[in-house]
């Protein structure tokens, strides 16, 4: 059975309830991931857990090696990735503790390696629907089973950080239609698509950013304290989601596992062999794109 990759952000330093857990150090063609992988099972479903900010939260958002994180999960046999991310809410009807099953992103990051492609191997994956719809539907079903409040759909505005928003930026993101704001979903989601992984993100609002007068402007202490309160609900949702996601078999109906079919632009004879070899490390089925198949 393929593994389900789980990426935890703030407050998810430990994944509880794993059976037969094993901590595995790993190296990838793109460097070391943020943390060792914790391998184990949840109700018989194999999972691989990765701490996005490293053990003890030592890696700032722009320095996260997202390419290595996705590559490490791929190497561990993952075909689906479930990301959990602490965020600020930009919507009155999404108070702290009310989860959002994100379906869109606005990427405002600038300093990050966002692709497995490059000179010698040019590729453009479709990204109009950045979240696997099958996974999101399963997450909504899971939330209902465990009685967790979750909004089905929402736009995650990804800011560079590490500073929180100015009040003017917070109001701007609301005008753009943002539902939540955070610092870590990009380029994680883009790289998952290039790796032909099914990917979904559960946004966990801990605050109202700085646009709302319900509390003081967001700070790290508020985020940490809220995660302690929200953690139990998040773990219930996570456990049920893993159980249901484990039943996903066969080709993805959304085409996540075939994202590279129409992506590669470089003429086969001119593709950089080293670049193509590295791509195969994260998208092993990309071998079908060889010159023999074109």
Q: Encode pLDDT of 47-70 as tens digits.
A: 999 999 998 889 999 999 999 999
Q: Is 209 a catalytic residue?
A: yes
Q: What is the pLDDT of residue 231?
A: 74
- The rounded distance, in Å, linking the Cα atoms of 125 and 128 is 9
Give residue 289's pLDDT band: very low, low, confident or very high (50, 70, 90): confident
Q: Is 257 a catalytic residue?
A: no
CA angle 22-27-30, nearest 5°? 140
Peptide bond preceding 255 in cis form (omega within 30 of 0): no
Helix (H, G, I), strand (E, B) or coil at 232: helix
On average, the pLDDT of the chain sits at 91
pLDDT exceeds 90 at position 9: no
- Residues 6 or more apart in contact with residue 144 via CB below 8 angstroms: none
pLDDT exceeds 50 at position 292: no
Domains of the chain, by residue range, sit at 3-293
- Of the candidates 67, 139, 135, 116, the residue with the CA atom closest to the CA atom of residue 260: 116
- The rounded distance, in Å, linking the Cα atoms of 42 and 238 is 10
Q: What is the pLDDT of residue 12?
A: 61
Distances (CA, A) of 272 to 115, 127, 167, 195, 278: 15, 24, 46, 18, 10
Q: State pLDDT tens for residues 102-153.
A: 999 999 999 999 999 999 999 999 999 999 999 999 999 999 999 999 999 9
pLDDT exceeds 80 at position 35: yes
- If you classify domain 3-293 with CATH, what class do you get? alpha beta
- The rounded distance, in Å, linking the Cα atoms of 13 and 56 is 7
Mean pLDDT (whole number) for 220-228: 61
Q: What is the pLDDT of residue 232?
A: 82
What is the pTM for the complete model shown? 0.93
Lowest mean pLDDT among 104-113, 225-234, 285-294: 285-294
- Of the candidates 246, 251, 242, 233, the residue with the CA atom closest to the CA atom of residue 6: 242
φ, ψ dihedrals at 110, nearest 5°: -130, -25
Lowest mean pLDDT among 14-18, 52-56, 81-85, 212-216: 14-18
pLDDT exceeds 50 at position 293: no
203 touches 85 (CB < 8 A): yes
Q: What percent of the chain has pLDDT over 90?
A: 80
List 19, 113, 147, 209, catalytic entry: 209
List 93, 207, 217, 257, catalytic entry: 207
> Beta-strand (E) ranges in 97-232?
99-101, 104-107, 150-152, 155-158, 180-182, 198-207
Q: What is the pLDDT of residue 213?
A: 77
- The rounded distance, in Å, linking the Cα atoms of 222 and 217 is 9
Kindly state the helix (H) or strand (E) to which residue 50 belongs, with its residue range.
strand 45-51
The number of beta carbons lying within 10 Å of the beta carbon of residue 146 is 15
Q: What would the two tokens of residue 184 be? A: 């870590």
- Of the candidates 177, 160, 168, 175, the residue with the CA atom closest to the CA atom of residue 210: 168
Q: State pLDDT tens for residues 239-282.
A: 999 999 999 999 999 999 999 999 999 999 999 999 999 999 99
Q: What is the pLDDT of residue 1?
A: 80
């Amino acid at each position: 059975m393929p593994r389900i990759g789980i990426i935890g952000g703030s407050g998810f330093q430990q994944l509880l309830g794993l059976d037969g857990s094993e901590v595995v150090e790993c190296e990838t063609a793109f460097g070391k991931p943020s943390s060792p992988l914790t391998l184990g099972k949840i109700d018989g479903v194999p999972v691989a857990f990765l701490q996005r900010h490293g053990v003890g939260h030592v890696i700032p958002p722009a320095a996260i090696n997202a390419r290595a994180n996705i590559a490490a999960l791929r190497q561990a046999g993952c075909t689906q990735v479930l990301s959990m991310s602490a965020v600020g809410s930009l919507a009155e009807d999404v108070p702290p503790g009310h989860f959002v099953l994100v379906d869109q992103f606005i990427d405002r990051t600038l300093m990050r390696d966002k692709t497995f492609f490059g000179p010698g191997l040019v590729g453009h994956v479709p990204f109009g629907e950045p979240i696997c719809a099958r996974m999101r539907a399963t997450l909504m079903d899971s939330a209902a089973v465990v009685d967790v409040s979750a909004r089905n759909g929402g736009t995650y505005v990804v800011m560079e950080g590490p500073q929180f928003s100015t009040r003017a930026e917070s109001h701007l993101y609301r005008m753009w239609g943002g539902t939540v704001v955070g610092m870590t979903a990009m380029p994680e989601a883009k790289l998952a698509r290039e790796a032909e992984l099914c990917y979904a993100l559960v946004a966990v609002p801990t605050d109202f950013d700085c646009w709302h007068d319900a509390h003081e402007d967001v700070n790290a202490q508020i985020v940490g304290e809220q995660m302690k309160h929200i953690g139990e609900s998040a773990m219930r949702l996570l456990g049920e989601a893993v159980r249901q996601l484990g039943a996903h078999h066969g080709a993805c109906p959304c085409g996540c596992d075939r994202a590279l079919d129409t992506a590669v632009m470089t003429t086969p004879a001119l593709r950089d062999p080293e670049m193509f070899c590295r791509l195969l490390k994260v998208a092993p089925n990309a071998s079908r794109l060889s010159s023999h198949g074109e």
